[in-house]
């Protein structure tokens, strides 16, 4: 008796994409941008022309079309096979997209979340620890290690500090050439480590140094960089979802870098929550001997002059209480009222951009997308409407108290407590009440 033969496998036809009449909304050539084989041309009116001979039936254009204006077309023969497949239990041999397979293999070589530990003369920038906090969540979701990237001279102590804030490994470049931050040396060092250890995500502070370094690295390694992210998460395909305000802050865009590694983001100070510090936490230090010859670095740092800022200026980003005024303050002299309240609370005065643009407050007091991001214990918004560009800079405060005479002002949507009324009556009344309570 002969053995039963296995059922022959049928290849599932891939079909080709085609445009449905009158449905294209000329969205901006999304179908063209996703086509992996460049078979989509655009007409002058923004409609796609698909070169079917080149189409590989990947369906990317069909899936991305916001107007469902594209569909898959199958010949009569292909339709028959599809019908047979649907009707029978014949095993289907899915055709593997060779391009996708190569890409998946390339991406899989990169593993781990890295956080660049920014330092100046051995002093770390706080944003690095904030990034370890969000980095830990990403690493946990990906099932990979959270690593610190430490570069400088005599900076091993920063590796241990990074362990205290959640890293389990630190890549260390420690040499005299790295004492001062210089783009050339740091880019060389980082690119060497990236090539050697292949991280899938690198986070940096959106500070002067971080912005400079991240852009230079992304250009050199040929990957994407999303600046000033306000949210980071992982999707179901291990991609980093990088959310940031776009179009002048009117929308929040989530940006992905799904074809290149590492995925790089910068985040402004105070946007992410500071993780808990665990004294004595341990990790592995990977000390890499790579250095850059001093003579190849054209930039020489002669002296570091600390921000003149410190002379009488106020750093609102570190304040626990911020009383901010907007256009509703009406005049610069009225900010004295906010200063009185700030003095009673031991806080500082902030401002909306309107107040800064009007010349009522200096630029370093501006809160928001083009100002500072703050995370105080209490943020009191006085005469501020709550435009999205302002909200992105303060909405993560522990408590928001909004004072506005317009009950429909958007600031009330993020407020813990809202007071509808005239700030010129309410603010002095609060200050007065605090003084009375203090005297008791
Ligand atoms: C690219 C871009 C970046 C930007 N970046 C920033 C940024 O970083 N920070 C920022 O703040 N803005 C920024 N803006 C501007 C932003 O869009 C708003 O225009 C600005 O925040 C509005 O400031 P405001 O709330 O003080 O003024 P308004 O929107 O004019 O609001 C004034 C509020 O005061 C209230 N009011 C008036 N009188 C009283 C009173 N007596 N008592 C109580 N309430 C009163 C009014 O009801 C009103 O709600 C940016 C805009 C763009 C396009």
pLDDT in tens, 67-121: 899 999 999 999 988 888 888 766 655 566 777 888 888 999 999 999 999 999 9
Residue nearest atom 28 of ligand 1, based on CA coordinates: 385
Same domain, 51 and 19: yes
> Has residue 221 got a pLDDT over 90?
yes
Ligand 1 within 6 A of CB of 373: no
Same domain, 159 and 189: yes
HSE (side-chain half, CA atoms, 13 Å) at 186: 25
Which residue range forms the structural domain that includes residue 271? Answer: 107-296
Number of H helices, E strands in the chain: 13, 23
pLDDT classification of 439: cutoffs 50, 70, 90: confident
Ligand 1 within 6 A of CB of 357: no
In a domain, 209, yes or no: yes
In a domain, 4, yes or no: no
Ligand 1 within 6 A of CB of 370: yes
Same domain, 145 and 253: yes
- For residue 19, give the CATH number of its domain: 3.30.70.20
* Strand blocks (E) in 213-274: 225-226, 231-234, 240-246, 251-255, 263-267
How do strand 417-420 and strand 399-404 relate by DSSP bridges?
Answer: parallel
Same domain, 160 and 282: yes
Confidence (pLDDT) at 403: 98
Same domain, 291 and 147: yes
What is the CA(334)–ligand 1 centre distance, in A? 16
Confidence (pLDDT) at 240: 97
Same domain, 328 and 424: yes
Q: Are 217 and 239 in contact (CB under 8 A)?
A: no
Q: Are 351 and 326 in contact (CB under 8 A)?
A: yes
Q: What is the DSSP string of 200-225?
A: SEEEEESSHHHHHHHHHHHHHHT--E
- Residue to mutate, 330, 332, 368, ligand 1, most ligand atoms under 8 Å from C-beta: 368
How far apart are the C-alpha atoms of 384 and 323, rounded to whole Å? 11
- For residue 435, give the CATH number of its domain: 3.40.50.1220
What is the CA(101)–ligand 1 centre distance, in A? 50
pLDDT classification of 256: cutoffs 50, 70, 90: very high
What is the CA(372)–ligand 1 centre distance, in A? 15
Ligand 1 within 6 A of CB of 389: yes
HSE (side-chain half, CA atoms, 13 Å) at 34: 15
Examine the fold and report which residue of 231, 262, 296 is the final residue of a domain before the chain moves on: 296
What total of structural domains would you count in the chain? 3
What is the CA(242)–ligand 1 centre distance, in A? 26
- Phi, psi angle pair for 399, to nearest 5°: -140, 135
Examine the fold and report which residue of 69, 95, 121 is the final residue of a domain before the chain moves on: 95
- Residue to mutate, 270, 335, 370, ligand 1, most ligand atoms under 8 Å from C-beta: 370
- Token pair for 258: 């799904």
Examine the fold and report which residue of 33, 64, 95 is the final residue of a domain before the chain moves on: 95
pLDDT classification of 34: cutoffs 50, 70, 90: confident
- Eight-state DSSP code of residue 160: H
pTM for this entry: 0.71
What is the CA(367)–ligand 1 centre distance, in A? 11
Ligand 1 atom nearest 354 alpha carbon: 23
Same domain, 417 and 283: no
Ligand 1 within 6 A of CB of 369: yes
Please state, as a whole number, how many other Cβ atoms lie within 10 Å of the Cβ of residue 430. 20
Percent residues over pLDDT 70 in the chain? 94
pLDDT classification of 205: cutoffs 50, 70, 90: very high
Same domain, 265 and 136: yes
> Has residue 239 got a pLDDT over 90?
yes
pLDDT digits (tens, 9 = 90+) for 52-62: 998 988 888 99
Same domain, 244 and 151: yes
How far apart are the C-alpha atoms of 69 and 60, rounded to whole Å? 13
- Residue to mutate, 228, 230, 353, ligand 1, most ligand atoms under 8 Å from C-beta: 353
Confidence (pLDDT) at 94: 58
Ligand 1 within 6 A of CB of 418: no
- Eight-state DSSP code of residue 53: T
């Amino acid at each position: 008796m002969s053995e039963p033969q296995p059922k022959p496998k049928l290849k599932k036809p891939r079909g080709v994409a085609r445009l449905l009449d009158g449905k294209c909304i000329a969205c901006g050539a999304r179908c063209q941008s996703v086509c992996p084989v460049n078979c989509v041309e655009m007409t002058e009116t923004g409609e796609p022309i698909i070169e079917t001979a080149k189409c590989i039936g990947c369906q990317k254009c069909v899936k991305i079309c916001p107007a469902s204006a594209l569909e898959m077309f199958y010949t009569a023969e292909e339709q028959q096979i599809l019908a047979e497949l649907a009707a029978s239990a014949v095993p289907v041999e899915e055709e593997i997209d060779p391009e996708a397979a190569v890409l998946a293999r390339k991406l899989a070589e990169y593993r781990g979340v890295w956080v660049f530990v920014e330092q100046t003369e051995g002093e770390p920038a706080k944003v690095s620890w904030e990034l370890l906090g969000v980095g830990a969540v990403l690493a946990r979701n990906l099932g990979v290690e959270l690593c610190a990237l430490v570069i400088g001279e005599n900076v091993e102590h920063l590796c241990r500090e990074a362990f205290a804030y959640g890293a389990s490994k630190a890549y260390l470049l420690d040499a005299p050439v790295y004492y001062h931050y210089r783009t050339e040396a740091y880019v060389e060092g980082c690119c060497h480590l990236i090539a050697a250890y292949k991280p899938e995500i690198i986070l940096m502070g959106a500070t002067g140094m971080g912005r400079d370094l991240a852009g230079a690295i992304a250009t050199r390694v040929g990957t994407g960089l999303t600046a000033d992210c306000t949210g980071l998460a992982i999707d179901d395909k291990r991609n980093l979802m990088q959310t940031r305000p776009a179009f002048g802050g009117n929308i929040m865009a989530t940006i992905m870098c799904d074809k290149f590694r590492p995925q790089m983001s910068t985040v402004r100070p105070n946007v992410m929550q500071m993780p808990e510090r665990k004294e004595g936490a341990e990790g592995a230090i990977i000390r890499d001997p790579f250095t850059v010859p001093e003579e190849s670095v054209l930039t020489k740092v002669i002296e570091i002059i600390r921000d003149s800022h410190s002379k009488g200026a106020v750093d609102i980003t570190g304040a626990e209480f911020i009383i901010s005024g907007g256009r509703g303050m009406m005049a610069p002299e009225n900010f004295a009222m906010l200063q009185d309240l700030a003095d009673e609370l031991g806080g500082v005065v902030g401002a909306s951009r309107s107040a800064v643009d009007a010349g009522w407050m200096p630029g370093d007091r501006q809160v928001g997308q083009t100002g500072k991001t703050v995370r105080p214990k209490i943020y009191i918004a006085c005469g501020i409407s709550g435009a999205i560009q302002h909200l992105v800079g303060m909405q993560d405060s522990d408590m928001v108290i909004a004072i506005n005479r317009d009950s429909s002002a958007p600031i009330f949507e993020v407020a813990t407590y809202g007071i509808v009324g005239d700030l010129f009556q309410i603010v002095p009344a609060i200050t007065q009440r605090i003084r009375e309570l203090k005297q008791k």
